[in-house]
């Protein structure tokens, strides 16, 4: 609501689009919470910036007309649940936790190596087949393929029933013509009342309709090395360490201390990116389709440049070999911004000297909330318009994203943090992570998740975020000036989306 | 450059030759090591669990070879063996069509005197350099409109028109296919088509073997176009499956499986190469070219 | 030959028909539609809403020349190509002559096979392996650090020329075996009697190499040059993977096809079309140039041969 007020105060021009904001609901409380923990300065400057003339609201595209189905699904299609995805995550969740999945008939088992195996064809208990259309994400192939397939959906007799999306481009599909609102499937407000608000904001369309659901919530924390904390800060207690990281000023001071003792505060350039990009005061693209760079992102640029010059980071990029190595025994990096899955799956793997042996840095990491709330990752399930298996789609969504018992089981079995507030709160009462030296990190997730603000998400985020990080890496490396990096950023975005306007 | 480069012929004393042989072997062995190093890395990484691979490369192998192999082979989403079969069919037929029809075309332009001969030759030369990506979008659109998505036809049949292979054949014929042979065959009463198949093709064996390897490998490793055309999991080729394995799980990439998949996919090519390399040598030994 | 040519002409058309039919269906139609597209504004907004096609004349072309550093991408392509090609042709020629040298009697079987081996690894995998090899904590850096005693590793992928060098090294490794085999086949095709008579005339190995081998394998050398130029102009996957999409280091290793790929990625048919036409023209000019070069050389050679024979 704070967002809504701000925009309305700023301008009249966006009156017709402002109604779109209804989705942000809970975010006012979260805003004040975050400000308390340090970013009041950021909020103030951006507010000033907006008053100072930059008064065009965010780009919020109208919901596209849906397309009338011209062909009916064939008999085969009516007996096949066709799901488009790019990886194995949801497959695994469905196979393990969807009660109507026919594990026996599908030949599903966990083999001696701990890997999942299925037979030739997979089935639901009602006898329908499941067909996965998997397209690797490389070079945007997944979205390109999905776009083509969805475009052909209306006239096709082989209907897609569900497809999966990610937050960075969710709004492209949510406001696009090819998705069926979940309420049309028969999922009620009551079904989804326990989900985290931000997970709904991500997939709420311009009309305020929810277009997808997710089984997970992915709040982020700061994971740090207890041994380094003890050496440099004199304590490894998460509450005490948090004080040294509570806002960016403290964070920077701590970084300087790390440097003195021969450690890096962060591993690479992009490590802190999400904590900034999730806390912007305006979206990437405004109502005039102009690309604008939020002040908070320039803060990330300045901070990262400073860190690079002073040697507070190790000059890596996300997912590269050194970045991973920095998380292991040989690493000299204090900590990493990681969300739920990152801590439970990725960091564990890097921390151990030998996979699955619980050695190396296993038990040496702790987590605390860090300077700002953010989230990282997440996969949403959408129903494809024209699905000829509505009942099954609804059932899968209800079980996988709304059912408390299922979600609780997912978290207990896989450690993946799930999208059910009461269930997670219940779990947080008494939880110990062996990997985190017995710390109850679920409790921190429970505290962090409601603070996430997704109201500034837009359909162009993927292109903008990727281009911004790429363009400014050259600046951090000293290859280009700040202005050149900015110019490169605009060029990259324009190449990806030629309808956008960039300063020339 | 002058000293070591040498060709068949001149006499030198045996000691000099010995020294040169040693130098040659040392240099060749160095390059052999350089060439094999990627394989060594690949094979070592095939034996390791994903976590160890991500720690950085070391020459010590792990004990995960069999496990990685089973992971890759048993996964029914990936269908590795099936995609191996698909790749074999596509690349095999591509290599066959490409070499056969390029040879046929080159032969026609080399031997026959017809009106469009010159223009055809010039035309092929002109189109030879056009990168495939240039027409990729149009190609995929066209295949969609033909209803040939998820079909092998668009990946195989276009190989009939392979300008680069054609050019190689033409060059080869220029240097080693005298027209007298054709004349002689005609006098013996051999039909044109038979002359080509039974007399000319054997002469072209070395050239065909060389081009077959190149075509096979580039088709085998092609990701760009197949990825745009094939989505049925029973129709995928190896590079598509490898891309899927690489992006299978975003939280922890199973690098052991990725390296294993790459390993599994290069073994058949290596075998095909080994078979054909013998072919080349025999083809040459037959003394195909004598003016 | 001349008197019979009329009756055989039809075979020329029959034998070339499959090639040209396949070409027209699978290459020319897409190519023409690509060119046609280049005069239209035609793209997808957010993968769903189609804009155009609207006739815009040459606007895509002017945008192309105004918008980005086309010259830079062509130059990058040339640099990467030459960095790989020069050592490639040098070593291939060297090895091919060694392999075919009857006096050296080298056991070449294993080497030939090994040299070609890197070519069977897909470019994507080569990229991955070399990334690991040259990464901060990779083996090359441990060697570098133990030799120089440097405290911090050398960041190969943060510098323009080391990045280009690694790309070229991969290209070299993938293709030198290929070229060696090709040149070997050509040298083996040379009539041994030529060498024998050269020997009798008292030519030394260097002379026979330059006076006999090189002129006689010239057609294949031209072929190698052309295919390598094609490969260079089409260079895509190795730099794409090594530079993670090409934007790295102010696009200093972005080739022209990588740039085309950016427009394919965003489904901008108009811009992609315009760039394709441009690429087509450049390719055509290059081909013609080499064709001229080749025609001159074969023409003179033929004359010589004729004179020599009878």
Which of C44, C250, C271 has the CB atom closest to A474's CB atom?
Answer: C250
- Disruptive mutation site among B18, B134, B162, B261 for chain C (greatest number of C CBs within 10 Å): B134
pLDDT at position B77 is 77
Q: Which residues from chain B sit within 8 angstroms of residue C103, using beta carbons?
A: 6, 8-10, 12, 17
Residue A385 sits in a domain of what CATH number? 3.40.190.10
Helix (H) or strand (E) holding A144, with range, is helix A141-153
ipTM: 0.82
In a domain, C97, yes or no: yes
In a domain, A113, yes or no: yes
pLDDT digits (tens, 9 = 90+) for A388-432: 999 999 999 999 999 999 999 999 888 889 999 999 999 999 888
Lowest mean pLDDT across A157-171, A366-380, B204-218, C2-16: C2-16
pLDDT at position C294 is 64
Q: Do A38 and A93 fall into the same domain?
A: no
Q: Do A280 and A392 fall into the same domain?
A: no
pLDDT at position C133 is 86
Kindly report the nearest CA distance between residue A470 and chain C, in angstroms. 7
Q: Do A392 and A353 fall into the same domain?
A: no
CB B215 within 8 A of CB B169: no
In a domain, A410, yes or no: yes
For A116, list phi and psi in degrees, rounded to 5: -85, 140
Does residue A313 carry a pLDDT above 50? yes
Which chains contact B through at least 3 pairs of Cβ atoms less than 8 Å apart? A, C
pLDDT at position B112 is 87
Indicate yes or no: CB of C264 within 8 angstroms of CB of B136. Answer: yes
Give residue A249's pLDDT band: very low, low, confident or very high (50, 70, 90): very high
Does residue A250 carry a pLDDT above 50? yes
Structural domain tally of chain A? 3
Put simply, whether A483 touches C (Cβ < 8 Å) is no
What does the angle CA C251 – CA C254 – CA C256 come to, to the nearest 5 degrees? Answer: 135
CB neighbours of A114 closer than 8 A, spacing ≥ 6? none
User: d(Cα A296, Cα C131) in Å, to the nearest integer?
Assistant: 33
Q: Which residues from chain C sit within 8 angstroms of residue B130, using beta carbons?
A: 27, 31, 279-280, 283-284
The per-residue b/e assignment along C79-97, b for 16 or more CB within 10 angstroms, e otherwise, is bbbebbbeebbebbbbbbb
Look over chain A and give the mean of its residue pLDDT values, rounded to a whole number: 85
Mean pLDDT value of segment B215-223: 86
Mean pLDDT value of segment B82-104: 94
Domain ranges of chain B: 14-46, 72-285
Residue B107 in tokens: 């032969």
In a domain, C39, yes or no: no
CB A241 within 8 A of CB A366: yes
Does residue B224 carry a pLDDT above 50? yes
Give residue A386's pLDDT band: very low, low, confident or very high (50, 70, 90): very high
Indicate yes or no: CB of C136 within 8 angstroms of CB of A492. Answer: no
- Disruptive mutation site among B41, B48, B51, B231 for chain A (greatest number of A CBs within 10 Å): B51
Nearest CA in chain C to B173: C219
Domain ranges, residue C258: 58-309
Tell which residue, A87, A90, A83, A92, has the closest CA to residue A163.
Answer: A83
CB C91 within 8 A of CB C79: no
Question: At which of A389, A414, A431 does a domain end?
Answer: A431
Considering only residues 67 to 96 of chain B, which have any Cβ-Cβ distance to chain C shorter than 8 Å? none
Instruction: Count A/C contacts: CB-CB distance under 8 Å.
Output: 85
User: d(Cα C47, Cα A87) in Å, to the nearest integer?
Assistant: 21
Does residue B284 carry a pLDDT above 50? no
Q: Which of B125-134, B152-161, C52-61 has the highest mean pLDDT?
A: B152-161
CB A458 within 8 A of CB A284: yes
Q: Do A29 and A10 fall into the same domain?
A: yes
Put simply, whether B279 touches C (Cβ < 8 Å) is no
In a domain, C277, yes or no: yes
User: d(Cα A380, Cα A110) in Å, to the nearest integer?
Assistant: 25
Which of B231, B233, B250 has the CB atom closest to A145's CB atom?
Answer: B231
In a domain, C81, yes or no: yes
In a domain, A448, yes or no: no
Structural domain tally of chain C? 1
Tell which residue, A168, A452, A169, A464, has the closest CA to residue A294.
Answer: A464
Mean pLDDT value of segment B86-103: 94
Residue B150 vs residue A137, higher pLDDT: B150
Q: Do A330 and A253 fall into the same domain?
A: yes
User: d(Cα C95, Cα C179) in Å, to the nearest integer?
Assistant: 10
In a domain, C27, yes or no: no
- Disruptive mutation site among A87, A107, A358 for chain B (greatest number of B CBs within 10 Å): A87
Lowest mean pLDDT across A79-83, A245-249, A259-263, B264-268: B264-268
- Disruptive mutation site among A89, A90, A136, A360 for chain B (greatest number of B CBs within 10 Å): A136
Residue C262 sits in a domain of what CATH number? 1.10.3720.10
Helix (H) or strand (E) holding A133, with range, is strand A129-134
Kindly report the nearest CA distance between residue C36 and chain B, in angstroms. 10
Mean pLDDT value of segment A201-230: 94
Which of A88, A113, A349 has the CB atom closest to B51's CB atom?
Answer: A349
In a domain, C4, yes or no: no
Average pLDDT per consecutive 10 residues, chain C (310 residues; last block may be shorter): 58 90 90 87 80 84 81 91 92 88 77 82 83 83 86 87 93 87 78 82 82 82 77 84 82 88 80 86 78 62 43
CB A504 within 8 A of CB A336: no
In a domain, A121, yes or no: yes
In a domain, C29, yes or no: no
pLDDT at position A13 is 34
Cα B33 to Cα B19, C89, C110, C140, distances in angstroms: 21, 19, 12, 15
In a domain, A471, yes or no: yes
Residue B241 vs residue C4, higher pLDDT: B241
Look over chain B and give the mean of its residue pLDDT values, rounded to a whole number: 81
Q: Is the peptide bond before A153 cis (omega within 30 degrees of 0)?
A: no
Mean pLDDT value of segment A138-158: 86
Put simply, whether B256 touches C (Cβ < 8 Å) is no
In a domain, A37, yes or no: yes
Kindly report the nearest CA distance between residue C251 and chain A, in angstroms. 9
Regarding the domain delimited by B72-285, which CATH topology (the fold level of the hierarchy) does it fall under?
MetI-like fold (1.10.3720)
Question: Phi-psi bin for A289: left (phi > 0), alpha (psi -120 to 50), beta?
Answer: left
pLDDT at position B232 is 82
- Percentages of chain A per state (helix, strand, coil), in multiples of 5: 45, 15, 40
Domain ranges, residue A16: 2-51
Instruction: Count B/C contacts: CB-CB distance under 8 Å.
Output: 340
User: d(Cα B257, Cα B241) in Å, to the nearest integer?
Assistant: 11
Kindly report the nearest CA distance between residue B63 and chain A, in angstroms. 12
Kindly report the nearest CA distance between residue B46 and chain C, in angstroms. 12
One-character DSSP codes across A190-255? TTTTTS-HHHHHTTB-TTS-B-EE-SB--BEEEEEEHHHHHHHHS---HHHHHHTTSSHHHHHHHH
Burial class (CB in 10 A: 0-12, 13-18, 19+), C289: exposed
Does residue A130 carry a pLDDT above 90? yes
Q: Do A409 and A362 fall into the same domain?
A: no
Other C-beta atoms lying within 10 Å of the C-beta of residue C199 = 16
pLDDT at position B290 is 31
Rounded to 10 degrees, what is the CA torsion of A86, A92, A93, A98? 120
Kindly report the nearest CA distance between residue C261 and chain A, in angstroms. 9
pLDDT digits (tens, 9 = 90+) for C184-197: 877 877 777 888 88
Q: Do A280 and A417 fall into the same domain?
A: no
pLDDT at position B145 is 86
User: d(Cα A461, Cα A472) in Å, to the nearest integer?
Assistant: 16
Give residue B209's pLDDT band: very low, low, confident or very high (50, 70, 90): confident
């Amino acid at each position: 609501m704070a967002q809504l007020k701000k925009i309305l105060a700023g301008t009249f021009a966006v009156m017709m689009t402002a109604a779109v904001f209804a989705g942000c609901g809970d975010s006012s409380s979260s805003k004040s919470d975050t400000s308390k923990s340090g970013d009041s300065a950021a909020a103030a400057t951006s507010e000033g910036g907006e008053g100072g003339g930059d008064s065009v609201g965010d780009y919020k595209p109208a919901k596209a007309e849906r397309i009338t189905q011209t062909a009916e699904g064939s008999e085969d299609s009516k007996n096949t649940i066709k799901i488009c995805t790019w990886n194995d995550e949801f497959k695994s969740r469905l196979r393990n936790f969807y009660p109507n999945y026919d594990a026996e008939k599908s030949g599903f088992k966990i083999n001696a190596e701990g890997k999942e195996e299925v037979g030739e064809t997979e089935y639901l208990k009602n006898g329908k087949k499941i067909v996965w259309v998997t397209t690797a994400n490389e070079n945007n192939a997944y979205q390109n393929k999905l776009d083509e397939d969805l475009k052909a959906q209306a006239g096709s007799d082989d209907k897609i029933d569900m497809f999966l999306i990610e937050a960075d481009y969710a709004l492209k599909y949510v406001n696009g013509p090819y998705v069926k609102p979940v309420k049309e499937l028969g999922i009620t407000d009551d079904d989804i009342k326990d989900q985290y608000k931000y997970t709904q904001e991500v997939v709420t369309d311009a009309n305020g309709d929810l277009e997808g659901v997710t089984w997970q919530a992915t709040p982020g924390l700061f994971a740090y090395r207890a041994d380094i904390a003890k050496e440099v800060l004199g304590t490894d207690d998460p509450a005490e360490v948090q004080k040294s990281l509570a806002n960016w000023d403290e964070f920077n001071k701590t970084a300087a201390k790390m440097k003195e003792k021969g450690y890096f505060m962060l591993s690479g350039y992009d490590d802190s990116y999400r904590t900034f990009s999730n806390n912007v005061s305006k979206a990437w693209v405004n109502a005039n389709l102009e690309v604008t760079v939020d002040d908070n992102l320039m803060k990330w640029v300045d901070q990262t440049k400073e860190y690079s010059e002073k040697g507070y980071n190790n000059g890596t990029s996300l997912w590269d070999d050194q970045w991973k190595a920095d998380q292991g025994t040989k690493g000299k990096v204090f900590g990493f911004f990681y969300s739920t899955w990152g801590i439970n799956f990725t960091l564990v793997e890097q921390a151990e000297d030998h996979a699955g042996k619980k050695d190396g840095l296993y038990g040496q990491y702790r987590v605390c909330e860090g300077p700002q709330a953010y989230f990282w990752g997440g996969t949403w399930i959408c129903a494809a318009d024209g699905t000829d298996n509505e009942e099954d789609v609804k059932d899968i969504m209800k079980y996988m994203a709304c059912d408390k018992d299922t979600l609780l089981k997912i978290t207990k079995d896989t450690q993946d943090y799930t999208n059910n507030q009461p269930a997670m709160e219940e779990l947080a009462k008494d939880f110990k992570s062996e990997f985190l030296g017995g710390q109850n990190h679920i409790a921190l997730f429970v505290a962090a998740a409601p603070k996430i603000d997704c109201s500034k998400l837009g359909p162009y985020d993927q292109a903008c975020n990727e281009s911004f990080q790429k363009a400014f890496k050259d600046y951090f490396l000293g290859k280009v000036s700040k202005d050149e990096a900015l110019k490169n950023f605009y060029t990259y975005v324009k190449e990806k989306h030629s309808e956008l306007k960039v300063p020339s | 450059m002058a000293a070591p480069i040498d060709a068949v012929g001149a006499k030198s004393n045996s000691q000099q030759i010995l020294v040169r042989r040693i130098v040659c072997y040392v240099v060749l062995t160095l390059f052999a090591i350089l060439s094999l190093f990627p394989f060594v890395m690949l094979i070592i990484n095939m034996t390791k669990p994903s976590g160890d691979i991500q720690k950085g490369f070391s020459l010590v192998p792990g004990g995960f070879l069999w496990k990685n192999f089973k992971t890759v082979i048993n996964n029914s989403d990936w269908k590795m063996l099936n995609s191996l079969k698909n790749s074999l069919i596509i690349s095999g037929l591509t290599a066959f069509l490409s070499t056969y029809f390029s040879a046929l075309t080159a032969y026609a332009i080399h031997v026959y005197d017809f009106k469009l001969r010159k223009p055809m030759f010039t035309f092929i030369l002109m189109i030879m350099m056009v990168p495939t990506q240039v027409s990729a979008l149009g190609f995929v659109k066209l295949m969609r409109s033909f209803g040939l998505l998820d079909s092998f036809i668009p990946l195989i049949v276009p190989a009939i028109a392979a300008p680069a292979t054609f050019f190689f054949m033409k060059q080869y014929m220029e240097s080693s296919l005298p027209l007298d042979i054709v004349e002689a065959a005609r006098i013996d009463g051999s039909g044109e088509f038979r002359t080509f198949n039974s007399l000319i093709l054997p002469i072209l064996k070395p050239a065909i073997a060389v081009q077959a390897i190149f075509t096979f490998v580039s088709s085998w490793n092609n990701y760009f176009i197949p990825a745009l055309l094939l989505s049925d999991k029973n129709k995928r080729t190896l590079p598509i499956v490898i891309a899927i394995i690489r992006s299978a799980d975003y939280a922890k990439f199973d690098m052991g499986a990725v390296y294993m998949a790459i390993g599994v996919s290069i073994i058949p090519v290596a075998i095909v190469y080994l078979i054909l390399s013998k072919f080349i040598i025999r083809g040459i030994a037959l003394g195909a070219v004598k003016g | 030959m001349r008197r019979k040519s009329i009756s055989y002409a039809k075979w020329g058309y029959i034998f070339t028909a499959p090639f040209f039919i396949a070409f027209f269906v699978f290459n020319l139609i897409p190519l023409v539609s690509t060119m046609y597209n280049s005069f239209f504004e035609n793209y997808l907004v957010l993968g769903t809403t189609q804009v155009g096609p609207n006739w815009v004349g040459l606007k895509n072309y002017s945008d192309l020349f105004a918008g980005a550093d086309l010259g830079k991408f062509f130059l990058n392509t040339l640099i990467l190509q030459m960095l790989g090609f020069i050592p490639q042709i040098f070593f291939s020629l060297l090895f091919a002559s060694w392999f075919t040298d009857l006096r050296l009697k080298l056991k070449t079987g294993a080497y030939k096979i090994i040299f070609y081996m890197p070519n069977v690894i897909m470019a994507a995998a080569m990229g991955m392996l070399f990334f690991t090899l040259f990464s901060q904590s990779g083996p090359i850096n441990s060697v570098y650090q133990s030799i120089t005693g440097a405290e911090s590793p050398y960041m190969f992928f943060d510098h323009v020329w080391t990045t280009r060098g690694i790309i070229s090294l991969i290209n070299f490794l993938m293709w030198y075996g290929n070229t060696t085999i090709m040149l070997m086949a050509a040298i083996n095709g040379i009539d041994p009697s030529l060498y024998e008579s050269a020997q009798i005339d008292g030519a030394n190995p260097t002379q026979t190499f330059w006076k006999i081998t090189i002129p006689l394998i010239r057609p294949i050398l031209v072929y190698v040059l052309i295919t390598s130029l094609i490969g260079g102009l089409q260079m895509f996957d190795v730099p794409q993977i090594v530079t993670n999409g090409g934007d790295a280091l102010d696009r200093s290793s972005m080739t022209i096809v990588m740039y085309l790929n950016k427009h394919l990625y965003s489904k901008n048919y108009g811009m992609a079309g315009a760039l394709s036409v441009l690429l087509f023209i450049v390719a055509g000019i290059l081909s013609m140039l080499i064709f001229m070069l080749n025609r001159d050389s074969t023409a003179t050679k033929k004359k010589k041969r004729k004179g020599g024979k009878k």
